[in-house]
Amino acid sequence: MSATTYPDYSPGLQGVIGGLTSVSKITVEESRLEYRGYNVHDLASKGSFEETAYLLIKGKLPTQSELDEFNAALDAERAIPSQVIDALRACAPGTHQMDMLKVGYSVLSGFDPDYNQEDPTDHEANVRKAIRITAKAATIATAAYRIANGKDPIAPKAGLKTAANFLYMLHGEEQDDYTVLVMDAALTLYAEHTYNASTFACRVCVATLSDLYSGIVTGIGTLKGPLHGGANEEAMAMLMEIGSPENAEAWLRDALATKKKIMGFGHREYKVGDGRAIYLTEVAKEIGRRKGNTNWGDIADIMEKIMREEKNIYPNVDFPAAYAFYLLGIPIELYTPIFVIARVTGWSAHAIEQLDDNRLIRPSCIYTGELGLEYSAIETRG
């Protein structure tokens, strides 16, 4: 059914205003994304993921003492109960990593000290939950991956921040400062993106006066779909198919001629390039130079040039993220869970905002079926 048939209908709710928010804004004409008024490029290049998490969850950039207290709270909350580990171990072999994340947060919810809060709109209780949810995301994601691959989880290390702890719990050893910087920038850039599908689903969930953990699980389930999450995984698969800079131009021109989907380029919300991709492209190519592997960055240079000249289409954040993560030694099946590690901050911010001034989200629909049918006895039905 189309908008032509039903003038009041917008497929995919495109252009329909679904609510009010002060969490983030996309300025389409400038391809600019702001978290609570701050350019995400500045947050990624000058700040840290923890500052961004504080901004999203608490509504302002922290002072040094506030950030120190916030980091200490995250540090104290990174470990997960043994029952969560047991639940992850109980998952069937081959269970999708995103489904394991859903299991982890579902089991974790009952261990939250604020689980039985009487008022689901209690702002301070929800902020405390959001901090615990953020702190434990990387722990659950790495535990799920290691268990799925026959390895024991590695406990978080005190004193390491989110990006550094993720890499430590994944690889079993601390990484160098620039590697951590790249991971931290990626988390900052993925943390929030207005009323995207998973964020809206999270808000719909908590608007029923469900709890924050249910909203997070809803967000994970929505993000699992390949039309939302997973684009960075597909972008890396594309780069691996191309293989080398020598193949890049021929592969891309053939793909353009046959109208093959070019993963990691273009975005529905950005017309002149994804502002998030600018800084991540810079650090992704630099990490390649530092590791003595410029292959992926060289392929990217060729593809970016041709796409810009031929189609006026620019890379989105998933393109540099794909080869940045690959260069950091991160398995491809963890790319979308990394999205979750970052995005739980944005989901939490939206869930808290929804619950602070709540109204049940219940849109209308247009019925397209038959009417006035008469009920017939079962033995008479053909």
The set of catalytic residues is 267, 318
Radius of gyration of the chain (CA): 22
Which tokens belong to 290? 């530092």
How far lies 240's CA from each of 50, 220, 236, 335, in Å? 33, 27, 6, 15
Residue 198 DSSP SS3: helix
C-alpha of 42 from chain center:
19
Q: Taking a C-beta distance cutoff of 8 angstroms, is the pair 84, 104 a contact?
A: yes
Q: What is the 3-state secondary structure (H, E, C) of 28-91?
A: HHHCEEEECCEEHHHHHHHCCHHHHHHHHHHCCCCCHHHHHHHHHHHHHHCCCCHHHHHHHHCC
- Residue 24 sits at φ, ψ, to 5 deg, of -155, 165
Quote the CA–CA distance of 296 and 245 in Å, as a whole number.
8
329 closest CA partner among 154, 157, 168, 149: 168
Quote the CA–CA distance of 337 and 220 in Å, as a whole number.
9
Contacts of 189 (CB under 8 A, 6+ apart): 40, 44, 276, 279, 280, 317, 321, 342
C-alpha of 222 from chain center:
10
First to last CA, the chain: 29
